[in-house]
Each structure stands twice: as C-alpha cells, then as structure tokens.
Amino acid sequence: MGSIMILDCTLRDGGYINENNFGEKNIKKLIKYLKSAKIDIIECGYLMDNIEYDKNKTEFLSMKQAEPLLAPDNSYTLMLLGEKYKIENLPENTGGKIDTIRMSFHKKSLQKAIEYAKKIKEKGYKLFLQPTSIMSYTEEEIKKMLKELNDLDVECIAIVDTFGQMTPEDTRRVTKIFDEVLRENIKIGIHLHNNLQTAFANAITFLDTISENRDVEIDTSLLGMGRGAGNLPTELLANYLNTRYGKKYKLEPLLEASDNIISKIKEEHDWGYSLPYYLCH
C-alpha cells in the first residue's frame, strides 16, 4: 500500500451536531490538539456564501476568516457543497494556509460538479471530491462517474457512505471498483457513517482491499462526532494504524481533546447508534 492519511472532519461533519458552534477558543484548541496528534489533514469547516460570519462557528465566507484559527505547519481544508455555493465567490489561492478544497456533490449534479472542479483547479487549489451516498449508485453508474472524473486533475476521490449503509462486503466491492477504474495517481478516500456500527470494520476492510501502491485517505472525527449515528472515531483509527501499519500518531492529544471538549458537547447534543438510525440506514 502507498501512504495512508487521516483527515479529521470533527469541525465540519461534527458541526451538524451543534450547528457548527464550537466557540472560537474551542476551535483553536481542537486544531492544536489535532496538530499535536500529527493528524495529516484537518478539515476546519465549511466554505459558504449567503451567511453572516460568526467567529464562534466553523462556517467561513473566505479562507482569510479561517486562517487566524489555524496552527502553523499543518495541512488544512474546507468543504463546499457544489450545489449550494457560487463558485465565482471562491478566491484565488494566493499561498495561504488552506490550499485544499473538498467538494461534495449529489449524483444528479455530476456535470455541474465537473464544471466546478475545473474552476477550482484553475484558481490554484488541490481538490478532493466527495460523491455523496455511493450506495445509491449501481456498479455501472460508479464506473461511469469515475471514468468521467478521471479526466480531472484532482488529488482524491472518496467513497462516501452517507447513510451508513455499507457492510464490509459492500466496502470490499466498491473499493475494488474505485481501485480498478481510477488512475493510479489519484488517492482514494473513504467517509463512513456508523448507522450499522460497521464504520471501523469497513475502514479495516478498505485498507485490506486497496492495491499495493495506492495512496489513501480516511475521514474520521473525535469520538465519532457527526450527523446521526456519527462517524469513524479518530482515536480508534489512529491507534489501529499505529499498531497495524507502523504509523506515529500521538494518541494522548486525541484523548485529551475528546475528554476536555467533545465529551462536553456530547452531554448536550448526543449522537451515535440508535434504533431510528438503524432503521433509516
């Protein structure tokens, strides 16, 4: 296998839980904790238009608003929703701390996403693509989509299990399709939800299935903080990668962040497995 990267999306996907209102001090603390843990990429929140900027929220009109919150010498990204963002509002990349954009899009919006992707690249950013709800695609639709995306100069394309439907067998099947169709220099990412309590098992299956030289990226969040049943926990995956793949993530900052900040949010805004989320998978 090639390189393995963790992308922590607590400040973005976790923001579904608390309306992105972490508080300015906690945003800065979480970024410092994640940097200390040597997490490869930190997703700081959403890049949005038509909002009123609030320094306590992880919603930003521009990179400049996010940059004062960031610790130096780390990789950062923001996510934009392809159907809900006016791409002309995206500023040129002028060498700031955030040089990567993640863009999510729905199946029906593929052609618009391709147009947006080209414009994002023209503005000088690295680009990660997140086609949502991969289980809504047939195998032939996945192949067709990936062949079209192959022509774009993107860094990563992810398997996104939006509703936590995937079993390890599904993960193996979809991973093989991505691995076979995508060009070798494109990273394959995976974003897992925990409706069936299989996110960790799916991550292990993903790593066991991927081809030898493929670089990969795996989304996580502290304590699994995220919409509905939550996400793959950062601390679980970091420990597994240290043990199984010889990675050097620092677990203590992750545990401190979870105990000092995230667990307090969980007391007010619960997430995780429940019968309703099981039934809607």
pLDDT at 277: 61
Name the residue with tokens 């963790």. Answer: 6
Q: Which residue has the tokens 């989320």?
A: 277
How far is residue 39's CA from residue 30's CA, in Å, rounded to a whole number? 11
Residue 129, SS3 per DSSP: strand
User: What is the pLDDT, as a whole number, of residue 278?
Assistant: 63
Instruction: Find residue 216's DSSP bridge partners.
Output: 4, 188
CATH superfamily, domain 4-270, is Aldolase class I (3.20.20.70)
User: Token digits for 137?
Assistant: 């695609």
Which residues in the chain land under pLDDT 50?
none
- Within a 10 A sphere around the Cβ of 97, how many other Cβ atoms? 18
pTM of the model: 0.96
CA distance 122 to 224: 34
At 12, list the tokens. 């973005």
Q: Could you tell me what percentage of the chain is helix, strand and coil, using 3-state DSSP and rounding each to the nearest 5?
A: 45, 20, 35
Side chain identity at residue 125, one-letter code: Y
